Amino acid sequence: MRAEISYDLVMEDGMEFVEGTYRLAGGDWQVVIVSAFDRNVPRPQVVPQRWASGVSGVLIRMPRDERINAQSVERVLSGAFGVTKWVRVRGPDSMGLR
């Protein structure tokens, strides 16, 4: 399955925080947040979220020994949603959706 992803920040190799939006197979835009602040997990965790606006998405918790960058975010999302190809596009700002 092909999906679209848009990052709110300029992506680098070792991010402390990532926020963006993604859209699966032409569906609605959803929010993705990845934080380096709570990294006491043995493997990446994808936690479903629903914000007060009604928009859904996920919070990803990454292990301490894993870099947070576009490749790792897309790999974790691919595993969670069965995506085989991510296309980076200019989508809506995640803060605006939330």
More confident residue, 86 or 39: 86
End-to-end CA distance of the chain: 25
Each domain of the chain, given as residue ranges in start order, spans 2-88
Query: What tokens does 75 get?
Result: 């790999």
pTM of the model: 0.92
Tell me the per-residue pLDDT of 19-70, one tens digit each, with 9 for 90 and over.
999 999 989 999 999 987 777 888 999 999 999 999 999 999 999 888 999 9
Other beta carbons within 10 Å of 31: 25
Residue 1 contacts residue 81 (beta carbons within 8 Å): yes
Look at residue 16 in the predicted model and tell me its pLDDT. Answer: 85
How distant is the alpha carbon of residue 37 from its chain centre?
A: 15
Look at residue 65 in the predicted model and tell me its pLDDT. Answer: 87
- For the chain, list the strands marked E by DSSP: 2-7, 17-24, 30-35, 45-50, 56-61, 85-88
